[in-house]
A and B are shown apart, each in its own frame.
Chain A
Amino acid sequence: MSSASWDIRHVDLSDRQPAVAANPRPLFVVFWWGVLPLGVRIYLPEQLPLRRSELGALTAELASAQLAARSPRFCGPARATYDGKPLLLVPADTLQEGGDLLKQLDDFAETSPISAAPLSVVICTRDRPEALEHCLTALMMQTSRADQIVVVDNSTHRSAEAVSARFPDIDYLHEPRPGLSVARNAGVRASKGALIAFTDDDVEPSPTWTMEVVRAFSSAGVDAMTGLVLPARLDTPAQCYFQFKMGGFGSECVPLIFDRRFLDETKATGAQVWRIGAGANMAFRRSVFQRVGLFDERLGAGASGCSEDSELWYRLIADGGACLFEPRAFVVHHHREQWPELRRQVRAYMKGHVSALFVQAARHRHGGNIRRIFRQLPGYFARSAFLALRDGGGARRFQILWDEIVGWLCGLQYAFRPRWRARPVEMPASPNLAQSARQSSL
């Protein structure tokens, strides 16, 4: 299945006559209700075109989740359960009141314009000028442009400078110290907006992205947001494997609140903060960095591997903050094309994940993180091996499993580095606020 190449289609179910037509190649379909993403489904040519019964059942299923999760009348905004799924409790009497549910869905899909002016967008890049060009092009075509776009060039030879110069009003910044966290922190320091959004050079934001990011902060209780990350192409086996077998960057399409309750309910077994979202599509209020500090420079690509984003969310919700996953803000991501690149990425992901678990355990004294390293992850490897054996799927699954185990073993080195673990997080330079923030992060 993962060896074929897939077409990507978008279908608006709020149309009078929606259809998923026959296609000679397998389809990855993103279903929408106007601007609301409802969900993704995959189909082989034999399953197409979709019958009316299928579209009806699917729409009912997707729309019901959307309504339950968004409408205050049911249980919106939805809280996340431990595994990043919405907790949907809908008492029957809330439905008794009647009211047109589709009209309500239309209201949720309403697109009043909103200014993206308070936003600074930070793009960290390293030796991928062509990809960066696509990303910047997409940022230039936003419905409402962010006030500031900061390109942080993390390469040694300033490889992004020429590309950045081709676009108007880009704040170009060279950060030669390697590491994604270092680059992102440089971006935070250079940014001026009250909201700071991050995306990566291998990402193309949708035209309404900046607007939807700002909209996600319209509730005062939201300190940070993440959004939906969809695949840009599914042309190679590596891209398909990442999307279908590894879940890509998630395909949940209902808004979710991750807050202190999420942490409290799950910290004993290791809070799954990576479910909150992806660094390719996230934003913070500026005050968050003053409250809980900057990205941890020990973590992330170029350092321990990854998870610098989820570790910051961990700190934020441990401090009582709230993170909103809002799929309306969506971007497309170019997955790794080649199999060796994907394998390297998997190793880095697992190593970075383990390192972040050590850091979280040391900083918050939450033993669940350690439990995850030494109990859940080995259990996960055993289960993956069994599933690979049971379901087949060839050498690929075992290769990826092997890479995960190697990454995990590499991550275990941090068990023997107590001084590395004990290092405090860096605060932004703002003396009066930094003081109170340091207290709260301890």
Chain B
Amino acid sequence: MAYRIAEIELTEPLTPIALTPEQAGLAILARWKGRLAGFHMASAAPGYIFSTDEIQALCAKRFGRRLIALEVEAALAQRWATDADAPVPSLCIAICTKDRAQRLARLLNSLMPVIGASRFRVTEVLVVDNASVDSATRDVVAGFSGLRYVFEPCAGLDFARNAAVRHATGNLLAFLDDDVVVDRDWLDGLFNAWRGCPDAGGFTGLVLPYRLDTEAQVQFELRGGFGRGFEPKTFHAASADNPLHPVGSGVIGAGCNMAFDRSLLLSLGGFDEALDTGAPLPGGGDLDIFYRVLRSGRAMVYEPRYAVYHEHRETLPQLRRQYWTWGLGFMAFLAKSRRSDPALKRKQSAILRWWLLDKLADLGVAACRLRIDELRFLSAELWGGLVGMAGEYDRSLQRVQKIREQSS
């Protein structure tokens, strides 16, 4: 089961869209005057042809109101008195990569043209090679001009991110994972987010699917994927709408596309190297840094224009493993926060109960409806969570200590 991804510019006339016999649905990525305006997945029979009327009706229902909002936003910029803009910060872009030279090249190909047109002063693009086993990564970097290559011998994503924090220059530091490709509006989006809230401690952006060619990729996206919607949001240390905030920091964004005030990262002591270590604990690092930024009193801004396309897991076993790591990473993060930030003890306990009951209820519903894949995803996540609760963070601390000793 695959979905066809169709990018539609809504200011232009629509045309029918035909699916191939392998495609069981259409994913519309809508733009309005070049700006990302919405994403919607519609299932259909293989080989189905969506007529222009059908596409128009879908767009009217799913994106119509958003289009008005985009127009209003533009008009407001004219109408509202503008504050004096803060001086534009400089920006360093860091890509942490490990043994994925091809994907790195793909990302760099999408990134370089975007940087050329930036309103930020981009100080450098830093590729942090996270203990790759061969020289392929170095070779790719050599093929582009103006990149800076840093080798981080300690294997683990947050080791690599901390290496970036140490080596980077510039006021803002944007992180990209190697399995994404940036949207042409990516840097403009980040600029927009910064200008709307210059005192924010961090920024996150939209993560769209790079392709939907396999069952696993479609299922992941249908279950919500990394999507956080097309409305910008600002997060603070507390929220009137969500009493568990900021402990449930997953709503803020995803680690594959985030940026921070670099001096804030330095003062927070960087990323927690015992999280996001790659196997066996490949998660939780982003939750932890979002949480700590908010707890430091600085805001986090989610901006949909600051968008990347992520290559989702290809096979169902990989996807199940990803859900397992979500459960594991979240619980490891929670275990850490309970220790390091007892002031929010009540919220931390409440979210534990919330998470368990929520997953169990979903599991019950999936079981009643005999949705086998769903059951397996949920049980993987739940199992990961239970393992995470059972001392995974401490085990990870010990492993990380060993890695540090080996490399020094």
Q: Report Cα–Cα, A101/B73, bound state, in Å.
A: 10
Distance in Å: Cβ of A9 to nearest Cβ of chain B: 13
Determine, out of A63-71, A261-269, A399-407, the stretch whose residues face the partner at the interface: A63-71
Q: Report Cα–Cα, A392/B356, bound state, in Å.
A: 13
Annotate A64-99 by CB proximity to B: 1 below 8 A, 0 otherwise: 110110000010000000000000111110011000
Q: Given A47-B236, A61-B231, A68 and B61 touching (CB < 8 A)?
A: no
Annotate A35-64 by CB proximity to B: 1 below 8 A, 0 otherwise: 000000011101100011110110111011
Q: Which of A57, A88, A101 lies at the interface centre, i.e. has the most chain B CB atoms within 10 A of its CB?
A: A57
Tell whether, in the assembled complex, residue B196 and residue A44 are in contact, meaning their CB atoms are under 8 Å apart.
no
User: Which residues of A sit under 8 angstroms from B200, Cβ to Cβ?
Assistant: 51
Q: Does B354 contact A (CB under 8 A)?
A: yes
Tell whether, in the assembled complex, residue A56 and residue B76 are in contact, meaning their CB atoms are under 8 Å apart.
yes
Determine, out of B64-72, B149-157, B335-343, B377-385, the stretch whose residues face the partner at the interface: B64-72
Nearest to B237 among chain A residues (CB) is A46
Q: Report Cα–Cα, A341/B20, bound state, in Å.
A: 63
Determine, out of A129-137, A197-205, A383-391, the stretch whose residues face the partner at the interface: A383-391
Q: Given A18-B80, A53-B193, A92-B64, A60 and B72 touching (CB < 8 A)?
A: yes
User: Which residues of B sit under 8 angstroms from A52, Cβ to Cβ?
Assistant: 80, 83, 196-197
Tell whether, in the assembled complex, residue B32 and residue A92 are in contact, meaning their CB atoms are under 8 Å apart.
yes
* In the complex, chain B residues 345-363 whose Cβ is within 8 Å of any chain A Cβ: 350, 353-354, 357-358, 361
Question: Per DSSP, are chain A's interface residues mostly helix, strand or loop, or mixed?
Answer: helix
Q: Report Cα–Cα, A60/B70, bound state, in Å.
A: 7
Of A42, A68, A101, the contact of B240 (CB 8 Å cutoff): A42
Q: Does B238 contact A (CB under 8 A)?
A: yes
Q: Which of B10, B199, B200 lies at the interface centre, i.e. has the most chain A CB atoms within 10 A of its CB?
A: B10
Tell whether, in the assembled complex, residue A89 and residue B64 are in contact, meaning their CB atoms are under 8 Å apart.
yes
Q: Report Cα–Cα, A46/B297, bound state, in Å.
A: 8
Q: Does A100 contact B (CB under 8 A)?
A: yes
User: Which residues of B sit under 8 angstroms from A53, Cβ to Cβ?
Assistant: 193, 195-197, 232, 234, 301
Interface size class of A (residues with CB under 8 A): 35 or more
Q: Does A432 contact B (CB under 8 A)?
A: no
Tell whether, in the assembled complex, residue B234 and residue A92 are in contact, meaning their CB atoms are under 8 Å apart.
no
Nearest to B355 among chain A residues (CB) is A390
Tell whether, in the assembled complex, residue A65 and residue B357 are in contact, meaning their CB atoms are under 8 Å apart.
no
User: Which residues of A sit under 8 angstroms from B160, Cβ to Cβ?
Assistant: none
Of B10, B72, B195, B234, the contact of A59 (CB 8 Å cutoff): B72
Q: Does A166 contact B (CB under 8 A)?
A: no
Q: Does B11 contact A (CB under 8 A)?
A: yes
Q: Report Cα–Cα, A95/B60, bound state, in Å.
A: 11
Tell whether, in the assembled complex, residue A60 and residue B76 are in contact, meaning their CB atoms are under 8 Å apart.
yes
Distance in Å: Cβ of B336 to nearest Cβ of chain A: 22
Distance in Å: Cβ of A327 to nearest Cβ of chain B: 17
What number of residue pairs across chains A and B have CB atoms under 8 A from each other? Answer: 132
Q: Report Cα–Cα, A392/B350, bound state, in Å.
A: 7
Tell whether, in the assembled complex, residue A390 and residue B353 are in contact, meaning their CB atoms are under 8 Å apart.
yes
Annotate B51-67 by CB proximity to A: 1 below 8 A, 0 otherwise: 00000110111011111
Tell whether, in the assembled complex, residue A90 and residue B239 are in contact, meaning their CB atoms are under 8 Å apart.
no
Distance in Å: Cβ of A245 to nearest Cβ of chain B: 11
Of B71, B77, B241, the contact of A95 (CB 8 Å cutoff): B71
Of B68, B76, B196, B239, the contact of A51 (CB 8 Å cutoff): B196
Tell whether, in the assembled complex, residue B354 and residue A391 are in contact, meaning their CB atoms are under 8 Å apart.
yes
Q: Which of A18, A26, A51 lies at the interface centre, i.e. has the most chain B CB atoms within 10 A of its CB?
A: A51
Tell whether, in the assembled complex, residue B75 and residue A74 are in contact, meaning their CB atoms are under 8 Å apart.
no
Tell whether, in the assembled complex, residue B10 and residue A90 are in contact, meaning their CB atoms are under 8 Å apart.
no
Of B60, B75, B193, B357, the contact of A90 (CB 8 Å cutoff): B60
Tell whether, in the assembled complex, residue A92 and residue B68 are in contact, meaning their CB atoms are under 8 Å apart.
no
Nearest to A6 among chain B residues (CB) is B240
Distance in Å: Cβ of B96 to nearest Cβ of chain A: 28
Tell whether, in the assembled complex, residue A64 and residue B238 are in contact, meaning their CB atoms are under 8 Å apart.
no
User: Which residues of B sit under 8 angstroms from A96, Cβ to Cβ?
Assistant: 11
Q: Does B233 contact A (CB under 8 A)?
A: yes
Q: Report Cα–Cα, A100/B350, bound state, in Å.
A: 48
* In the complex, chain B residues 7-49 whose Cβ is within 8 Å of any chain A Cβ: 10-11, 32
Q: Which of A52, A96, A100 lies at the interface centre, i.e. has the most chain B CB atoms within 10 A of its CB?
A: A52
Q: Given A47-B238, A53-B232, A88 and B69 touching (CB < 8 A)?
A: no
Distance in Å: Cβ of A285 to nearest Cβ of chain B: 32
Of A47, A91, A389, the contact of B357 (CB 8 Å cutoff): A389
Q: Does A433 contact B (CB under 8 A)?
A: no
Nearest to A91 among chain B residues (CB) is B60
Q: Given A16-B80, A392-B350, A90 and B72 touching (CB < 8 A)?
A: no
Q: Report Cα–Cα, A88/B69, bound state, in Å.
A: 13
Annotate A262-293 by CB proximity to B: 1 below 8 A, 0 otherwise: 00000000000000000000000000000000
User: Which residues of B sit under 8 angstroms from A26, Cβ to Cβ?
Assistant: 240
User: Which residues of A sit under 8 angstroms from B71, Cβ to Cβ?
Assistant: 95, 101
Tell whether, in the assembled complex, residue A44 and residue B357 are in contact, meaning their CB atoms are under 8 Å apart.
no
* In the complex, chain B residues 232-251 whose Cβ is within 8 Å of any chain A Cβ: 232-234, 236-241, 243
Q: Given A53-B234, A101-B72, A102-B72, A17 and B80 touching (CB < 8 A)?
A: yes
The 5 tightest CB contacts between A and B, nearest first, are A53-B196, A90-B64, A64-B69, A64-B68, A42-B240
- 16 further contact pairs, Cβ within 8 A, besides A26-B240, A96-B11: A44-B239, A47-B239, A52-B196, A52-B197, A56-B196, A57-B233, A63-B72, A64-B65, A89-B60, A91-B64, A92-B60, A95-B68, A95-B71, A101-B71, A102-B72, A389-B357
- 19 A-B residue pairs with Cβ-Cβ distance under 8 Å, sorted by A, are A1-B240, A16-B80, A17-B81, A47-B236, A56-B73, A56-B196, A60-B76, A64-B68, A68-B65, A88-B65, A89-B57, A89-B61, A91-B59, A102-B72, A102-B76, A102-B79, A386-B357, A390-B353, A390-B361
